[in-house]
Every structure is written in structure tokens, then in C-alpha cells.
Amino acid sequence: MNARIFVGDTRFDAIAANDRGVAYGDGLFETMRAHRGDVPWWDAHWARLRSGAERLQIELPQASMVRREAVDLLAGDDAILKLIVTRGSGGRGYAPDMDAPATWIVSKHPLPPDSPDSGIAVRWCETRLSVQPRLAGIKHCNRLEQVLARAEWNDPTAIEPYAVEGLMRSAEGDVVCATAANLFVLREGRWLTPPVDRCGVAGICRAWVMGATGAAERRLDVTEVETADAVFLCNAVRGILPVAKLGGRAWPLHPQVVALRDRLAEAHPGFAA
């Protein structure tokens, strides 16, 4: 079995029917790229998980136990590791049981296919992200907005069926991210990325890129993205994804993006060619 389920320190065969993660999305998750059975960015992922748990007032399981189970499950492989932590079971209704032990699940998944070196095509999504500062930045389990956005181009008759990712705006119209990645644009010689103080996820790879490039946070509109000198997406599973096409705009592979991908491969061996 490629998943292990625990409530507190006790292993179970299934998730409880009244688990609040299932009922309400009351939980958090991390999706990590493992290299040879270990997770190079484990500490960063756990720090974000801990920050989210503090925000939601969920008591995390012991970090040492989670990592031990994760490494055992990975069995030395290159893979994707997913960790879900929910508030656990708490009866019917929205009021949480603050004393319930958390449910946590580690699961192992195949690596995604490699993206073309020349870059990917993206499109604009019609689905907007709600503005909710209390949930902004954390990776909570309710991702229905992203699900709806990603479903927009499952139809082969869609306007842009070639797109492999979609860019999302907030309900107020500013550009925030892709459905499953953060966004960076190069303008006037400087890298910029949208802030995640009102919606969006503070990505682990995003944090690395900001440190590596000195990128600044700035609210961006559609025109500023479409007229940028270079655009890329990033996340902790696929690394840096250069954007080659967005609507009628096409970008050649920018040398700064090539250099940044090389630096990422040095920082995380899972992204080495």
C-alpha cells in the first residue's frame, strides 16, 4: 500500500467517516519531491505546515514520527510524497473539537512527466480566488477554486486546449498564481511575484526563488504579465517551469531562467537533469 493513515500515534486502515478533513476540508497538506528516499526541503515544508497548523489551531503529530514513516514509505525511491494533516474526527457540525487528535496521512506517488525545456503554454482562468487573509499563504485542504479553474480546459473543444497550466486572479482582479504553482515575471530587469497576503499559497519553491533572485512582491495586473520580458511558474514538485506562450504572446527561453534552473538543481538534487 502506498499510503499510511494515523490518528495521533496509532495507525489505522481507513479514514473515519466523520473526519473533518473529509467533511469540511479542515486540514493542511504538503506535497514534496523526494530524491533517493529523502526530502531535501523537508524542514521548509514542515515549517510551513507548522505555521498553518498554528493558524488553524491544529495540533501536529510528532515530526520525528512523520518523517520516519515517510522515509520508510519512500523506500529509497525518487517520488512525490504527500502529507495530509486534518483536525481529526469531531462529530457533525462546524464547531471543532479542539482536543481531538489529528489524523495524518503520508502517501507516495510517481514523479510527474518532465516538461519541455522550451517552456509551457498557459492560459487565463475564469474562476477567481476569494480574498480571505486568514487563510492566505497556508496550504489548507479546501482547493475547490483550483479544481474549478483546472476543469476549465479539460474539454478538448476549449479555446486553448494546449495549455498545461492556468493563471488565476483574485476576486478583485489582480493576478495571484497558477492553479498549482506560483508566478514570477521579469520587468525592467527585476523579478516580481504577487504577494500572498490575501489569497494564494506561500510556496516552498517560491521562497527559494525569492532568496536566489531578490525578487520583490508586487500586485500585478493582466497587462503587466502579458508584457513581461520573461515569465515562469514554480512549485516544489516540478521546480521552475518557463512560460513559452500565453494567449497571443510567446516568449523565447530567457537566459536568466536557464541559469536559475541550474541553481535550483544544485539546491535540490531532485531537479537535476
Task: Please state the three-class secondary structure of 68-92 as a single string.
Answer: HHHHHHHCCCCEEEEEEEECCECCC
| 120-271 has the same fold as 3-109 | no
Pairing of strands 165-169, 175-178: antiparallel
Asked if residue 183 has pLDDT above 70, the reply is yes
Q: What is the CA radius of gyration of the chain?
A: 19
Confidence bin at 92 (pLDDT 50/70/90)? confident
Confidence bin at 155 (pLDDT 50/70/90)? low
Collapsed DSSP state (helix, strand, coil) of residue 138: coil
Q: How many angstroms separate the CA atoms of 2 and 173, rounded?
A: 40
Query: What confidence score (pLDDT) does residue 52 get?
Result: 98
What is the average pLDDT score of the chain?
95
Q: How many angstroms separate the CA atoms of 137 and 56, rounded?
A: 12
Collapsed DSSP state (helix, strand, coil) of residue 7: strand
Q: Are 127 and 148 in contact (CB under 8 A)?
A: yes
Q: How many angstroms separate the CA atoms of 142 and 126, rounded?
A: 19
In this structure, the number of other CB atoms found within 10 A of the CB of residue 85 comes to 25
Average pLDDT value for residue range 108-131: 94
**Looking at domain 3-109, does it have CATH number 3.30.470.10?**
yes
Q: How many angstroms separate the CA atoms of 176 and 152, rounded?
A: 18
Which percentage of the chain shows pLDDT scores above 90? 90
pTM: 0.95
Query: What confidence score (pLDDT) does residue 161 get?
Result: 47
Choice among 145-149, 159-163, 254-258 with the minimum mean pLDDT = 159-163
**Looking at domain 120-271, does it have CATH number 1.10.3720.10?**
no
What residue ranges do the domains of the chain occupy?
A: 3-109, 120-271
* 261 DSSP assignment: H
Of 226, 247, 136, the residue nearest 183 (C-alpha):
226
Q: Where would I find the H helices in the chain?
A: 20-24, 42-56, 63-74, 144-150, 204-213, 222-226, 255-267
Better-predicted residue by pLDDT, 90 or 166: 166
Query: What confidence score (pLDDT) does residue 115 get?
Result: 84
